Chains A and B, each alone.
Chain A
Amino acid sequence: MSKTTTIEPFTAGFVEALSPELILFAGMLLLILVPNLGKGTFRIPGTQTRIPWLLGGTRFKFSSDPRLPAWIASITLGSAFLNVLYVFSQGLDRVLIVSESGKELLLINGFSRIFELIFFGALALAAFSSMNRLQVKGIGSKIPEHELYNNRRQADFYILMVTCALGMSVVALAQDLFVLFIGLELASFSTYVLVAFLKESKVGVESGMKYFIVGSVASGVGLYGLSMLYLWAGSLQFSVLAATFAVSGTTALPLIGIGFVLVGFGFKVSAAPFHFAAPDAYAGAMSPVAGVLATASKAMGMIGLVRMLLIVAAPESSDGSAVWLVCLGAMAAVTMTWGNLAALGSDNPKRMLAYSSVAHAGYMLAALTAVGAWNWDAAVAGDASAAAVAVMTALLFHLVVLVAFKLGAFLVLSILESEGGASRLSSLGGLAKREPLLAVAMFIFMISLAGVPPMAGFLSKLLVIMGIVRVAVGDMGAEISDGGIYALGDMHWVWWLALLMVINSAISVFYYLRVVVVMFFNEPEEGREGPLPRGWQVRVAILACVLTTVLVGVAGDSLIRLCEMAAQSLNYNW
């Protein structure tokens, strides 16, 4: 338990505490200014004197480089990432930022830090690897460098990436549902535009539009839930809500309010039945953007769910939380099964990955259900609260490593995409012959997604399943220690979620390995026998993903410890 420092905005310590976000802000300003630097002049009114003021006019050589915005964004996001990593390595202080009236606004702790790592890492990789592929004619054409988009539109793309990161990190820091909602919408709107960014391509615009419409509806329902909560508690502070819930949580108003908020976040994590727009959006968006949706955006939705969970699972509120958990558990079961079944027959690799990401959302929801199935209160629960921490650790770990192999898989597809589309499984054909290392990387991502040791995906799945079983067994502890007879039925029902997860993992191996079969055993499609499009940036990003996947899988100890720290910092009592 570390001491909490409370500060007000713009007082001492504020800059240090929010340095990653401030870096993003500075990067955003640079992205607006730098590409506009030029030989523009300003005529003093009434005179003929022109003063050079460097904005507008003919651009300088460096500021007209089409890759400049991508570099700025990559460096901004990368340095924010490194900043968080550095702070983390220096040990952690809890910093609470409060408004003048004493309301808690933002809290920096291990939990928020780990999510910042996820967001910045994923977006930095995505920005870096799209450096060479934003093209005039949309998806599919190989064109030389000088025809890359004029850099003003390039700048738009990367500004959106940075604002997306900013919104997400606000969600991670928020201590107030309203602040959280603002961050959520900032990030959401950025992603809507990013999905539809290639307005020249029909699918892009269509899927962006659908994503936007369905997303707005979900947000609207969520906002309605928020208003109900405000009506009930008179505040949107997490701490106030939790305390109020513990006292009068079983009334209809807060429960339905929370249920509606669940819809809003359910859309973000693409839980069934709110996931329908996701496959369309992933398939229509550019692959790196789809990768961001599947990793960072999902993690953001997960934060919302965790916050809700902490409200309802606060001490002494077992009745209310039980209902809520049934919702969550049912959602988890439906989501993972639905995702896997749909992915089974999908011929479009991007849709397949989208459905697989729905399935992964189901796994994470199952973990979340297990967390809620146990009382968070350390004083009451003893060993079993350690079990809840273990599940939470597993959940965070899963979110972190997902960035490596899910985004990595999308990046591999992005190379194929810039060659002429990756909308059919056969477009991966013969990849092993065309670029063996890329095929091996994809192979590693696939078996990691399927959860094969020694990849990171195996470890995360193992931790989640083990954690759920531990919670379920811990629930049975009383019967066992009394020496009574125990049976499967005595265990908490979350046990069945673990079983369902195992069955679903078995199903999922089929479609992941089908990709491998196509890459290694099928011949390339006609006209795609030649070498793949070049570009070292995306390959470096893929390499980073591969290394993370393998290294974390083999020696994930320190990362697990980091996640454990983050999980513990969540509890109000720690």
Chain B
Amino acid sequence: MAGTEVTTTVHSEWMQYAPLIILLPMMAFAVILFLGRVFNGHPFWKKNLKEGGLIALPVMGASLILSLLLISEFLKGYSGVEDIFEKIAWVNTGIWNGGSTTESVSFGFGIYVDHVTVMLLFVASFLCLLINVFSIGYMNTDPINDNRNHRFYAEFVLFCSGMLGMVLADSFLWLFIFWEIMGLCSYLLIGFYYERPSAASAAKKAFLTTRIGDVFLMIGLVMLWDLFGSLDYAVVFDTHNIEMVAESSAGTLQWALGLMFIGAVGKSAQFPLHVWLPDAMEGPTPVSALIHAATMVNAGLYLVARMFPFFGAEALHGDLDDLAFIIAAVGGITAVMAAAIAFVQMDLKKVLAYSTMSQLAYIFTGLGCAMYLANTLDWHHDSDAHYIVIVAFGASLFHLFNHAMAKGMLFMASGSVIHEVHHAHHHLHHDDDHHDDDFDAQSMENMGGLASKMPITATAMLIGSASIMGLPLIGGFWSKEGIIANAWRVAQDDPRFLFPAMCVLLGAAMTGFYMSRMWLKTFAGKPNNEVAAHVGPTNIWIKTPLFILTFVTLSSVLLAGMGFTHWAADTEYSFLSEKNIIDGILYEMGHAFANSDSFFFILTYVAIFLGAIVGPGVAMALYGGKLADGEHAKPWMRPVIRLSAWVNKRFHFDNTAFRESSLATALENRLYIDEYYDKAMLNIVAGFSTKVAEADTEVIDGTIKAIESGSQSLSTFVRSLTTGSARDYILMVAVGTLIISLLIWGVA
């Protein structure tokens, strides 16, 4: 066992309030649930408090403000320090350490802040707030949710508490606890419409699938505990402790981290544990935006990013490269597979779900490559290598940031579309009693040409799509280029990595196609039916977050210029200190478009060509088109629509052959993976369960029943000694006295 040395704790002014970031939402959970039960249906509660939405809002606002204060303090003053953390002890106790003395142990909760924390803390608290705003516009205007929105908001804030807690926790143990709180909330929120069988089974599926990963995660954590004797970051990341472990059991450490990675695979919906995410779209759209796009699915990435100190440790040099490859390869497979399935989806939210899987897979690939670099390069002493490692790690984190912002926005925009299509349908057919039975407000078949009707939503969707596709200068471009370049850089060192490198390059083209297809089918062309023609603009609660996020996504270039990839990945680079922002942007521009290394120069343009020209081009050829007569899009969307119409006219081709091919059918059936899982479950697991259940009823229950009835009759006997007569009681006192006297007499 390694020693339990503890590194120095740095106190800072806002650090002491950091627990409130987690506690406030957790308390709001109880408050909203309680008030919701008490005042359910009360007009003040419904109108003025939005069934708890306006209780959640200030709480999330407070969490965001506290987070920002903490972050700004970290960036200003402490970015040179390894990390800052603070511990609150709950129980201080001793455990027997195998000798004649005891070792003091403190169980408690601690806050740990470092560069990775800071980035994800901002993403989580910022998006939680915006999605809270969005929820008020989305949930409270749909009569189907009336009188049960308090449940939504309560679970929502509990989820936020879990996410923020996971980010701020100071040990893998607490990370795991909050991880499970999120899992629970995810289950509850996916099953929010539990009266629908599809939602109930989707919730179950999500819970069980992620649970499989969690079991492995737990085993990994136990192994890690066994190696280090603690799960505190301060202990396990300590260079000295890692050296001690590396000497004797580097292989075991790789297994432990690998098992933990399986947990991340489940949470972040990567192949082969990806099956739950598309079904999870049964939940209300704000839930999809928050949990299944912007925050919870990033938990897996965060866990992997947390492992970075192991990969980067000098003592473990070259010991963990296999795991790094597995991480990158899982990412590569998922990136292509999910993108391919997204080709044929008609459901707006499902396209986004598969896109999420694919983009998360990019980040996994990026992390895998960065970890490989950190593990094989001598980056502690060679400053060039150091730069390469840091930028590779930073690019992955930057993509996490960009993707969370863009995908959160896309989901909210899709929610806005669905909401309005639903309303339009309702409005048109309100005399018809059966209208809800066969109308699918999420299907892109029922949309089309909405660009002029919902300008803000369409713009947000356009910018978000461009960011995901990696169109030059917008959002995800900066980070995606970095990931692709690093994958190829690693592929030059290690031929195994050619596979993920090819995957991410191919994925870029595929992303270009499916994102463009989605936008064009929804917003360009003529309305597909009467409902789409009657869609109106959306409300202010929905517009506001879309508006804000559009600007955040567009300003990603500024972040890139500020050296995001550097200070998000390593503490040695401090915020904004290297160059001023203009120089930074120019540097990044030069780096991206005029790389001095000819290999990367060509690679950049190949990636841009694939992602920004081939993919969207094919999509335009198939689905482009002018708006209906008399409809005018906003000026910034007009060129896109006109271009798509032109490409469509000029290059349109018939894709019926593809659509009827067996590949397309397979994709529509999600490559039959779900079916195989079902079959395996039914035949193996269910059969086994039946046997176990039989054993349970007969052996275990039988034993327990026997114990129960036995102890009850024993209890009856014991109580029958309490006769109720004082004479008997005195007799018993006498007997007791006698026994004591005899005992003493015998010895004395």
Chain A residue with Cβ nearest B737: A263
**Docked-complex contact B712 and A266, CB < 8 angstroms:** no
Answer whether residue A256 sits at the interface, using C-beta atoms and an 8 A cutoff: yes
**Docked-complex contact B89 and A557, CB < 8 angstroms:** yes
**Docked-complex contact A341 and B711, CB < 8 angstroms:** yes
Answer whether residue B735 sits at the interface, using C-beta atoms and an 8 A cutoff: yes
Answer whether residue B91 sits at the interface, using C-beta atoms and an 8 A cutoff: yes
**Docked-complex contact B733 and A218, CB < 8 angstroms:** yes
- Kindly state the interface size class of chain A when it binds its partner: 35 or more
Residue numbers in B under 8 Å from A251 (CB-CB) = 748
Given that A213-B730, A327-B744 are known contacts, is A221 also in contact with B722, CB under 8 Å in the complex?
Answer: no
When chains A and B are docked, how far (Å) is the Cα of A523 from the Cα of B459?
57
Query: For residues 273 through 298 of chain A, which have their beta carbon under 8 Å from a beta carbon of chain B?
Result: 273-274, 276-277, 279-280
Residue numbers in A under 8 Å from B99 (CB-CB) = 477, 480-481
Answer whether residue B578 sits at the interface, using C-beta atoms and an 8 A cutoff: no
Answer whether residue A342 sits at the interface, using C-beta atoms and an 8 A cutoff: yes
Query: For residues 96 through 147 of chain B, which have their beta carbon under 8 Å from a beta carbon of chain A?
Result: 96, 98-102
Query: For residues 711 through 748 of chain B, which have their beta carbon under 8 Å from a beta carbon of chain A?
Result: 711-712, 714-716, 718-719, 721-722, 724, 726, 728-730, 732-733, 735-737, 740-741, 743-745, 747-748
Answer whether residue B92 sits at the interface, using C-beta atoms and an 8 A cutoff: yes
**Docked-complex contact B719 and A342, CB < 8 angstroms:** yes
Return the contact of A256 from the options B90, B102, B744 (Cβ within 8 A).
B744
**Docked-complex contact A259 and B90, CB < 8 angstroms:** no
Answer whether residue A474 sits at the interface, using C-beta atoms and an 8 A cutoff: yes
Query: For residues 449 through 501 of chain A, which have their beta carbon under 8 Å from a beta carbon of chain B?
Result: 459, 462, 466, 469-470, 473-474, 476-478, 480-481
**Docked-complex contact B735 and A476, CB < 8 angstroms:** no
Q: How far is the CB of B466 from chain A (nearest CB, A)?
A: 49
Residue numbers in A under 8 Å from B747 (CB-CB) = 255, 322-323
Answer whether residue B94 sits at the interface, using C-beta atoms and an 8 A cutoff: yes
**Docked-complex contact A210 and B729, CB < 8 angstroms:** yes
Q: How far is the CB of A74 from chain B (nearest CB, A)?
A: 30
When chains A and B are docked, how far (Å) is the Cα of A250 from the Cα of B748?
6
Chain A residue with Cβ nearest B708: A510
Q: How far is the CB of B718 from chain A (nearest CB, A)?
A: 5
**Docked-complex contact A346 and B719, CB < 8 angstroms:** yes
Given that A259-B740, A473-B96 are known contacts, is A214 also in contact with B745, CB under 8 Å in the complex?
Answer: no
**Docked-complex contact A259 and B744, CB < 8 angstroms:** yes
Answer whether residue A144 sits at the interface, using C-beta atoms and an 8 A cutoff: no
Q: How far is the CB of A282 from chain B (nearest CB, A)?
A: 12
When chains A and B are docked, how far (Å) is the Cα of A149 from the Cα of B245?
76
Q: How far is the CB of A120 from chain B (nearest CB, A)?
A: 28
In the complex, how many residue pairs between chain A and chain B have their CB atoms under 8 Å apart? 121
Given that A342-B722, A476-B100 are known contacts, is A273 also in contact with B732, CB under 8 Å in the complex?
Answer: yes
**Docked-complex contact B101 and A344, CB < 8 angstroms:** no
Chain B residue with Cβ nearest A262: B740
Answer whether residue A33 sits at the interface, using C-beta atoms and an 8 A cutoff: no
Residue numbers in A under 8 Å from B714 (CB-CB) = 341, 344
**Docked-complex contact A326 and B732, CB < 8 angstroms:** no
Answer whether residue B48 sits at the interface, using C-beta atoms and an 8 A cutoff: no
When chains A and B are docked, how far (Å) is the Cα of A555 from the Cα of B108?
11
Given that A383-B100, A557-B92 are known contacts, is A252 also in contact with B745, CB under 8 Å in the complex?
Answer: yes
**Docked-complex contact A327 and B715, CB < 8 angstroms:** no
**Docked-complex contact B724 and A323, CB < 8 angstroms:** no
Answer whether residue B93 sits at the interface, using C-beta atoms and an 8 A cutoff: yes
Residue numbers in A under 8 Å from B94 (CB-CB) = 466, 470
**Docked-complex contact B733 and A255, CB < 8 angstroms:** no
When chains A and B are docked, how far (Å) is the Cα of A272 from the Cα of B735?
11
Q: How far is the CB of A436 from chain B (nearest CB, A)?
A: 9
Return the contact of B715 from the options A345, A473, A476 (Cβ within 8 A).
A345
Residue numbers in A under 8 Å from B745 (CB-CB) = 252, 256
Answer whether residue A338 sits at the interface, using C-beta atoms and an 8 A cutoff: yes
Chain A residue with Cβ nearest B715: A345
Query: For residues 248 through 274 of chain A, which have their beta carbon under 8 Å from a beta carbon of chain B?
Result: 250-252, 255-256, 259-260, 262-263, 266-267, 272-274
When chains A and B are docked, how far (Å) is the Cα of A277 from the Cα of B743?
24
When chains A and B are docked, how far (Å) is the Cα of A232 from the Cα of B100?
40
**Docked-complex contact A480 and B722, CB < 8 angstroms:** no
**Docked-complex contact A326 and B737, CB < 8 angstroms:** no
Chain A residue with Cβ nearest B88: A555
Q: How far is the CB of A134 from chain B (nearest CB, A)?
A: 26
Answer whether residue A26 sits at the interface, using C-beta atoms and an 8 A cutoff: no
Chain A residue with Cβ nearest B724: A280
Residue numbers in A under 8 Å from B732 (CB-CB) = 273-274, 276
Residue numbers in A under 8 Å from B740 (CB-CB) = 259-260, 262-263, 327
Return the contact of B722 from the options A259, A266, A279, A344 (Cβ within 8 A).
A279
Return the contact of A342 from the options B715, B728, B729, B743 (Cβ within 8 A).
B715
Main SS of chain A's interface residues?
Answer: helix
Answer whether residue A233 sits at the interface, using C-beta atoms and an 8 A cutoff: no
Chain A residue with Cβ nearest B740: A259
**Docked-complex contact B730 and A214, CB < 8 angstroms:** yes
**Docked-complex contact A344 and B736, CB < 8 angstroms:** no
Answer whether residue A217 sits at the interface, using C-beta atoms and an 8 A cutoff: yes
**Docked-complex contact A274 and B748, CB < 8 angstroms:** no
Q: How far is the CB of B38 from chain A (nearest CB, A)?
A: 9
Residue numbers in A under 8 Å from B741 (CB-CB) = 256, 259-260
When chains A and B are docked, how far (Å) is the Cα of A324 from the Cα of B743?
9
Q: How far is the CB of A114 from chain B (nearest CB, A)?
A: 20
Answer whether residue A209 sits at the interface, using C-beta atoms and an 8 A cutoff: yes
Answer whether residue A518 sits at the interface, using C-beta atoms and an 8 A cutoff: no
Residue numbers in A under 8 Å from B728 (CB-CB) = 276
When chains A and B are docked, how far (Å) is the Cα of A406 from the Cα of B101?
35
Answer whether residue A554 sits at the interface, using C-beta atoms and an 8 A cutoff: yes
Chain B residue with Cβ nearest A480: B100
Residue numbers in B under 8 Å from A218 (CB-CB) = 733
Residue numbers in B under 8 Å from A326 (CB-CB) = 743
Residue numbers in A under 8 Å from B716 (CB-CB) = 345
Chain A residue with Cβ nearest B95: A466
Q: How far is the CB of B184 from chain A (nearest CB, A)?
A: 18
Q: How far is the CB of A457 from chain B (nearest CB, A)?
A: 14
Residue numbers in B under 8 Å from A557 (CB-CB) = 89, 92
A207-246 to B contact mask, C-beta < 8 Å, 1/0: 0011001100110010000000000000000000000000
Residue numbers in A under 8 Å from B711 (CB-CB) = 341, 344, 507
Given that A255-B748, A470-B96 are known contacts, is A214 also in contact with B101, CB under 8 Å in the complex?
Answer: no
Residue numbers in A under 8 Å from B102 (CB-CB) = 383, 470
**Docked-complex contact A276 and B100, CB < 8 angstroms:** no
Residue numbers in B under 8 Å from A263 (CB-CB) = 733, 736-737, 740
Q: How far is the CB of B571 from chain A (nearest CB, A)?
A: 33
Q: How far is the CB of B22 from chain A (nearest CB, A)?
A: 15
Chain B residue with Cβ nearest A253: B748
**Docked-complex contact A341 and B726, CB < 8 angstroms:** no
Residue numbers in B under 8 Å from A480 (CB-CB) = 98-100
Residue numbers in B under 8 Å from A383 (CB-CB) = 100-102
Q: How far is the CB of B164 from chain A (nearest CB, A)?
A: 20
Q: How far is the CB of A474 from chain B (nearest CB, A)?
A: 7
**Docked-complex contact A478 and B100, CB < 8 angstroms:** yes
**Docked-complex contact B90 and A555, CB < 8 angstroms:** yes
Residue numbers in B under 8 Å from A255 (CB-CB) = 744, 747-748
Residue numbers in B under 8 Å from A274 (CB-CB) = 732-733, 736
Q: How far is the CB of B88 from chain A (nearest CB, A)?
A: 9
Chain A residue with Cβ nearest B732: A273
Q: How far is the CB of A539 from chain B (nearest CB, A)?
A: 17
Given that A263-B740, A480-B100 are known contacts, is A213 also in contact with B712, CB under 8 Å in the complex?
Answer: no
19 A-B pairs in the complex with CB atoms less than 8 angstroms apart: A210-B729, A213-B729, A213-B730, A221-B737, A252-B744, A263-B733, A276-B722, A279-B722, A322-B747, A323-B744, A327-B740, A341-B715, A342-B715, A343-B715, A474-B100, A478-B100, A481-B100, A555-B90, A557-B89
Residues of B within 8 A of A (CB): 89-94, 96, 98-102, 711-712, 714-716, 718-719, 721-722, 724, 726, 728-730, 732-733, 735-737, 740-741, 743-745, 747-748
Other than A259-B744, A260-B737, A345-B716, give 4 A-B pairs with Cβ distance below 8 A.
A214-B730, A272-B736, A338-B718, A554-B90
Leading 5 A-B pairs by shortest Cβ distance: A477-B100, A345-B715, A344-B715, A276-B729, A252-B748
